[in-house]
Structure 1
Amino acid sequence: MKWASLARRYRGYKALLQHYPSASVVIWNGIKGQRSLLVHAARELGREVFYFEEAPLPKRLTIDRSGVNFGSSLPRDPAFYTAWLKACGVDPEAWRDVGRQIVPRPSDKRDDIRSENAPSELAQERFIFCPLQVPRDSQITIYGDWIKSVEEMIDHLKAASQHLPDGWHLRIKEHPSSKISFFDKLSALESDKFRVDNVTNTMDQIALSHAVLNVNSSVGLQAFFFNKPVIVLGQAFYCFDKLATKVNGLSDLADILTKPEDLTFSQNLRNAFMSYLCEDYYPMEQDVLDGTYGPEQVRQRDRDRDAILATL
C-alpha cells in the first residue's frame, strides 16, 4: 500500500512539472521522504533543482543544485580552495568575523537542555566535546556512514572513551532540538572518562575542549572558529584532507583517542575553505529574501567554481 501511494505521488509530481515545462524546483532539504520524490521527478525530466537548507553559519542559507550537507557540490579537492583564495584576494583571516555572530542554539524541545555559562573549573579539565545529533535526521540516516543511530553513537563513544589517557574524558551534550531524551541512558554510562553536560552552553564547551567529536553536525564546522581539531564519524562536507580527522570505525576511533594530543589540522587549508564558505558559497538570508541573490547568482557561483576546477 505504501509503495502504491508513493508511486501515485511520484506520477502526480511528474504530471505537475510537465504542465509547467519551463519550471525549476526549489525544495527545502529534499533528500529523503516525499520531497525526494519531487526531486527524482524533476531530475527525470531534466529540470533544474535548487536545494535549500539552513547554513551552519549565522544569517546565511545553503542553496545548491546538487544537494545539501555531504551531498552538496562543494569540492573535496583542497587545491580548489587555495586557488580560489589566491584568485579572489580576500583577507585569509576575515572569515573569523563570522564566528563572532554564532550563538548557542536555543532548546525549543527540552527544558533540561540549557545554555548556561561554563563553570570556572571546566577550564582545568582535559576533554573532547561530543555533541549529539537529532535522532533520525538525514545527517544520521543518510550521511551517518558507520553510525546508524544516536543510540549506537552513544554506545561507541562509551566503548572508545576507555582508551583515553587518564585525566581525559568525553563530554557529551544532547541536541537541543531532540524530542527524544537519552539522558537516562547517558547517565547510566557515566564514568570518569564519559560525562554528560546538558547544562553548559555549546560554544563554551567547544572553546574549552581540546577537540570536538561529532558525526557531521554544524558544531564540527563551528569548531573551526575556535581552532579546535575535529573528529568526524560520518560523512561531512568539511572533512577531507587536513581539515578534520575522519574515523572509519570503532577500532579507528579507539586508536585516535589513545593519543588525543596528537590531533591536528591544517590552518592554511581551513583559512581557504572557510573564506570560500563565508565569502562565496553561503548567501545572506536577507539577500535571498530581497531578491538580490537568486538563481542566476547560484549558476554564476557554480560556473566560477568549475572554471577553477578546470585549471587544477
Structure 2
Amino acid sequence: MLMVFSSIAWRPHVETGVEVALRARENGEDVCYVDLTKFLRGDESYYPIHKLIDVPFIRSNNALRILRSQCVRSLVEGVDPSLEKRAGMIAKDILKTIKTHEQFLSIGYEGFHDLGWAALSSAVSYKKDSTIRYETDSRYITGWVEIAIRAYLKAKDIMSRESPSEVVAYNGRFATTRAVIRAADYMGLRWKVYEVGASVRKYRFHDYLPHDRDRVQEDVKKYSGRGADVWGEEFFLARRGLSRSKENVFIKKQEKGVLPEDLSSDYKWVVYFSSSDDEMVAIGGDAQHPVFYDQEFALKCLKKAISEIDGLRLCVRVHPHVSKKSKNDRRKWASLAEQWPDVLFVGPNEEVDTYALLEEAHVVASFGSTVGVEATYWGKPSLLLGRSFYDRLGVCGQPQSLSEMVGFLLNPEVFDRKGALLYGAYMTTFGIDYKFYEAESYGKGKILGKDIDDSFLLRGVKALKRSVACIGG
C-alpha cells in the first residue's frame, strides 16, 4: 500500500499530494491518504491570519472531498492530548542538557537522527530569519521540536497499524515532513518526496531529499533529453530576461545596464552575488562547505584574499529577495556594509542591473547562487565558496583554502560551458507533468476542476474586497 502523508497545507503541495494519490489509484495501487494537519495544530501552515479564517483547514477538507469522490481511502488524525503531552516530555528530556546551538543541531530521537536540523528548518522558514539561534530563541525552537516529535510518533503509529509498503511526503526538509520520512526509515519502509518541478506544470517525485546536492547533480549528468544545448541556452536567456518562456522575478525592478556609480574603472572588480541565508542555513550538515562553513565567513575570507592583491576590489550584490526576509537578515547585511567601508555594497532594492554587474566583473563569486553557473555560461570566471547544485559539474573554481582563493583571483579561469548547459537543460525540463492538477500560476490552479481554496467564507471575503476596491477607486 502507498501511504501519502499531508502535514503542511501549502499550495501547490496539497494538490501535488492529491495528484500522487490519484495517479497511484489509477495505476491499480492500494492507496491511503493521511491528513495530519488537524492533529498537528499550529504547524508550518498556520499564520496569525488563520485565526480569523482557517485556510489550511479549508484546503485540507477540500482535498479530502476530492479524494473521497475518487474512492481513495483517507485517514484524518484529530487532536491527541496524550500524545502531545508525551511529545512535550520527550522534547524536555532531550533538551535538558542542551546549552549551545551546535549541541542543539546534534539532537535526535530514535530514528529521527536529524531532529535538530528539521526543527531549525521550520523555525527559520516560518520567520524567514536565518539569525535564529538556540541560545537566544530556545523557547521558540523548542516548540518546533515538540511538533516534529508529535508528527514522528503519530506517523510511526500509523505505519505500524496500517503496514504500508511505501510512504510519500512533501519535501522532507521541515519539522513535520522530515518526521514522516524518518519514521519510515525507523520502520524499514521505502519513502519518496514530492516538490515543485521545473515549471508550474510539473512536479518532482523521487527517493531523495530535494536539497541533496549530490543526487540532484547525478540526475543532471544523466540528462538525456534531446536538445540539451537548446534547453540549456533557453534557461540562461530566460534568467537574463532575454526570453519570454519563464520570467526571472528577481530582475523585474532592475534597470537594464545600470551600474553602481562607485564602480570605478580604475580597479578590477570581484563581484560577489549573495544567497538568501534562510533558505540555506537549516538544510543540514551535509550541505555545509567543509572550509567556508557559512556565507558570512566565506565573504570575510574573500575580502581578505582580495586585500592581498593590488588593483582588485570587492563589490557585493545583496540578493533582491533579502528585501522580503526578516529585519534581522536585512540588518545583518546593512551592518556588514557599515563595517566594511572599502567594499561596495549593492542593496537588495537597488535598481542596479545584475547582469551588467556580471559583465563588468573580473571574477564572479558566490556561495551557491545560480549566478555562479550563469557566469560560466556567459564566459566569466566563476568562484564558488559554498556547496551548490552545480559544484560537481566542472563549471567553477572551488578553493579549499585562503591561498587557493588568492591563486584563483590572480589567475582566473573561464570554465567550459558544457556542464552549465546540462544544468540549464535539466533546470528547464525536470519533473513529471501533472495529469489531474491544472496550474494557472504558482500556488494557483485546480485539481479535477476544483480549487482547494474555494469555500463560502473565502468567496465572501473576496467579494467584500472587490466591493471595497470599487468604493475606493
Q: TM-score, normalised by structure 2?
A: 0.48
Match of 2:313 in 1: 169
TM-superposition CA deviations, 1:175-225 (whole Å, max 9, x none): 32342121132232132xx32112214343334434321112333234344
Q: Work out the CA distance in 2 between the residues paired with 1:141 and 1:105.
A: 24
Match of 2:179 in 1: 37
Q: Percent identity?
A: 15
TM-superposition CA deviations, 1:143-197 (whole Å, max 9, x none): 231333343233223212213441x322212232342121132232132xx3211
Matched, 1:159 2:304: yes
2:415 corresponds to which of 262, 265, 268:
265
Give the number of the structure with larger relative contact order, counting CA–CA contacts within 8 Å between residues 6 or more apart: 1
Match of 1:300 in 2: none
Match of 1:274 in 2: 424
AA at the equivalent of 2:372: G
Q: Sort the Cα spacing of 1:210 and 1:116 in 2 relative to 1 into closer, same or farther, 3 A.
A: same
For residues 1-312 of structure 1, the aligned pairs below 5 Å read: 1-2=91-92, 3=94, 5=146, 6-20=148-162, 21=164, 24-28=167-171, 30-31=172-173, 33-45=175-187, 46-52=189-195, 63-71=205-213, 73-76=215-218, 80-81=221-222, 85=224, 88-90=225-227, 92-102=229-239, 103-106=247-250, 115-119=254-258, 126-138=268-280, 142=284, 143-145=287-289, 146-166=291-311, 168-175=312-319, 176-177=321-322, 178-179=325-326, 180-181=329-330, 182-191=333-342, 194-198=343-347, 199=350, 200-240=352-392, 242-259=394-411, 262-279=412-429, 281-282=430-431, 289-290=437-438
**Greater radius of gyration (CA):** 2
Q: Work out the CA distance in 2 between the residues paired with 1:105 and 1:41.
A: 37
Q: Residue 221 of structure 1: SS of its match in structure 2? A: helix
Query: What is the Cα-based RMSD across aligned positions, in Å?
Result: 3.6
AA at the equivalent of 2:344: R
Q: Residue 187 of structure 1: SS of its match in structure 2? A: helix
Offset, 1:242 = 2.2
Match of 1:306 in 2: none
Offset, 1:117 = 3.7
Q: What residue ranges of structure 2 are gaps of 5+ in the alignment?
A: 1-90, 96-145, 240-246, 440-473
Answer whether contact 1:232 1:247 (CA < 8 A) is retained. Answer: yes
Q: Sort the Cα spacing of 1:31 and 1:91 in 2 relative to 1 into closer, same or farther, 3 A.
A: closer
AA at the equivalent of 2:368: N
Q: Sort the Cα spacing of 1:18 and 1:209 in 2 relative to 1 into closer, same or farther, 3 A.
A: farther
Q: What residue ranges of structure 1 are gaps of 5+ in the alignment?
A: 108-113, 292-312
AA at the equivalent of 2:418: N
Answer whether contact 1:129 1:172 (CA < 8 A) is retained. Answer: yes
Q: TM-score, normalised by structure 1?
A: 0.70
Offset, 1:26 = 2.7
Answer whether contact 1:163 1:257 (CA < 8 A) is retained. Answer: no
Q: Work out the CA distance in 2 between the residues paired with 1:266 and 1:42.
A: 42
AA at the equivalent of 1:154: L
AA at the equivalent of 2:254: S
Answer whether contact 2:232 2:428 (CA < 8 A) is retained. Answer: yes
Q: Residue 101 of structure 1: SS of its match in structure 2? A: helix
Answer whether contact 1:17 1:23 (CA < 8 A) is retained. Answer: no
Q: Residue 216 of structure 2: SS of its match in structure 1? A: coil
Q: How many residues align?
A: 271
AA at the equivalent of 2:438: D
Q: Sort the Cα spacing of 1:269 and 1:186 in 2 relative to 1 into closer, same or farther, 3 A.
A: same
Q: Work out the CA distance in 2 between the residues paired with 1:239 and 1:169.
A: 25
